[in-house]
């Protein structure tokens, strides 16, 4: 079993706070030393109380799901002897209301474009299986109720 930790820090500063007019900007610190500027989403908390330059939890959620999928895809492709040159994705998350009327990320769309090289070339079926198995193996995809859709493309290096 593994335990994952992060440290979040927020300070009120001079804001009254109880009037809801305070900055949501804060930091995330991770065990490897990375510090990330974070904030609420400007979609939900207006400026100047959100920081649009900072990452918000919804963006982090989408990026984490896409990252987990990519890491499993790369692992599985390498295990089958497929040489991946690049993997680019522009994932998106859709926020909507669930059956109980709560706002939730209902779907995350992955759109990876993978460039393969070398002589051992995957078929369309291989490519689809790699994404299916990556989804099945992804720890985060197995941890959430969000529907995750992968519609990627691939090619061979010149």
**pLDDT tens-digit readout, 12-66:** 998 999 999 999 999 999 999 999 999 999 999 999 999 999 999 999 999 999 9
157: pLDDT strictly greater than 90:
no
Exposed, middle or buried by CB within 10 Å (0-12, 13-18, 19+), for 110? Answer: buried
* SS3 of residue 64 by DSSP: helix
Domains and their CATH numbers in the chain: 1-54 (no CATH), 57-156 (3.30.300.20)
- Cβ(95)–Cβ(62) under 8 Å? no
What DSSP string describes 1-22? -----EEEE---TT---TTS-S
In the chain, the N- to C-terminal Cα span, in Å, equals: 43
**Total-model pTM:** 0.91
């Amino acid at each position: 079993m593994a335990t994952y930790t992060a440290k979040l820090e927020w300070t009120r500063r001079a804001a009254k706070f109880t009037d809801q007019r305070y900055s949501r900007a804060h930091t995330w610190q991770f065990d490897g030393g990375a510090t990330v500027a974070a904030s609420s989403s400007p979609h939900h908390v207006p400026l100047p109380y959100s920081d649009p330059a900072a990452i918000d939890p919804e963006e982090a959620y989408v990026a984490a799901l896409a990252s987990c999928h990519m890491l499993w895809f790369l692992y599985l492709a390498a295990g089958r002897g497929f040489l991946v040159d690049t993997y680019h994705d522009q994932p998106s998350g859709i926020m909507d209301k669930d059956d109980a009327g709560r706002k939730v990320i209902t779907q995350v769309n992955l759109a990876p474009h993978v460039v393969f090289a070398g002589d051992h070339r995957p078929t369309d079926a291989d490519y689809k299986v790699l994404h299916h198995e990556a989804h099945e193996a992804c720890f985060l995809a197995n941890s959430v109720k969000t529907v995750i859709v992968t519609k990627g493309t691939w090619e061979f290096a010149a």
